[in-house]
């Protein structure tokens, strides 16, 4: 029997569905604890978050927890996979009259060696969105493994599934398009143009909403966010990566990639 619950955390709506009613309470506890730990590691809205030590280091190496190191690696992986379209790095603008840094550092200049992070001077990180998608993946895998049930975890627009799925697959909502079916192990992310990406508005003037189905929520988030940023070049880029995607432009017209087949978008 499929059961679910929802609550709010870290500025997002959280949803957990499990295929075994007896597992719901334990699943919620595990997801909630993981969210708390990740938020404490990297939320810029928390004054005690560990990420602040990294952002204040400014060219000096800083040791971090295993969790934060992993989250930073995931964010840098997203940057590499999207050719920098979705980057965790923000560059501090120099004061008026002061020449900018030449060359300007990028995500490729960040080094992580075990638990030590070294970023160039002027670089700061915002990894909240990638961390949420990454946490959806990890939380779903943890619940499925430890509680031996099928599970869906949604954190905002990022959805991850693990374990066996209910009859008929996981039914999820695509903004503006009703429901689709996700098979076992599939993930989806929906991103709107109004979302702020690491200190800048990702407004290309083309897409209002992008939904992507992929093998994990982190890649789905990366691809949907990159599509918003890439504008007209998004569709061939998504096709190149053989991703199932639905894009809505600013006039409400809908475009889909070859891999998107409603209602089974995977």
Q: Could you read off the pLDDT of 13-49 as tens digits, one per residue?
A: 999 999 999 999 999 999 999 999 999 999 999 999 9
99 contacts: CB under 8 Å, gap ≥ 6: none
- Tell me the Ramachandran region of residue 163: left when phi exceeds 0, alpha when psi lies from -120 to 50, beta otherwise: left
- Tell me the Ramachandran region of residue 64: left when phi exceeds 0, alpha when psi lies from -120 to 50, beta otherwise: beta
pLDDT value of position 32: 98
Cβ-contact 109, 84 below 8 angstroms: no
Written as six digits, the tokens of 35 are: 């969210």
Residue among 48, 44, 113, 42 nearest 75 (CA): 42
Q: Could you read off the pLDDT of 109-157 as tens digits, one per residue?
A: 999 999 999 999 999 999 999 999 999 999 999 999 999 999 999 999 9
pTM above 0.85, yes or no: yes
Q: Could you read off the pLDDT of 54-98 as tens digits, one per residue?
A: 999 999 999 999 999 999 999 999 999 999 999 999 876 655 555
* Spatial distance between the Cα atoms of 41 and 101, rounded to a whole number of angstroms: 29
* Spatial distance between the Cα atoms of 153 and 235, rounded to a whole number of angstroms: 27
Written as six digits, the tokens of 81 are: 């996979």
Structural domains of the chain in order of their starting residue, each with its CATH number: 3-32+130-256 (3.10.520.10), 51-126 (no CATH)
- Count other Cβ atoms within 10 Å, centred on residue 136: 32
């Amino acid at each position: 029997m499929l059961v679910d619950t929802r609550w709010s955390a870290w500025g997002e709506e959280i949803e957990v569905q499990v295929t075994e009613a007896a597992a719901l309470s334990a699943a919620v506890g595990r997801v909630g604890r993981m969210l708390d730990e990740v938020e404490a590691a990297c939320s810029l809205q928390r004054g005690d978050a560990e990420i602040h030590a990294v952002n204040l280091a400014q060219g000096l190496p800083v040791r971090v927890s295993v969790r934060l190191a992993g989250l930073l690696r995931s964010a840098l992986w997203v940057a590499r996979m999207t050719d920098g379209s979705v980057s965790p790095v923000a560059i501090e603008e120099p004061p008026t009259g002061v020449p900018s840094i030449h060359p300007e550092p990028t995500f490729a200049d960040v080094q992580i060696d075990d638990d030590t992070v070294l970023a160039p001077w002027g670089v700061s990180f915002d990894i909240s969105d990638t961390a949420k998608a990454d946490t959806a993946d990890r939380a779903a895998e943890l619940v499925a493994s430890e509680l031996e049930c099928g599970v869906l975890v949604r954190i905002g627009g990022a959805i991850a599934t693990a374990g066996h799925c209910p009859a008929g697959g996981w039914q999820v909502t695509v903004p503006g398009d009703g429901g689709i079916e996700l098979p076992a192990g599939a993930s989806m992310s929906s991103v709107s143009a109004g979302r702020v990406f690491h200190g800048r508005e990702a407004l290309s003037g083309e897409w209002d909403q992008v939904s992507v189905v992929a093998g994990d929520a982190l890649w789905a988030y990366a691809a949907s966010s990159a599509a918003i940023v890439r504008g007209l070049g998004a569709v061939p880029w998504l096709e190149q990566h053989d991703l199932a995607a639905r894009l809505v432009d600013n006039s409400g017209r809908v475009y889909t990639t070859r891999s998107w087949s409603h209602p089974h978008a995977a």
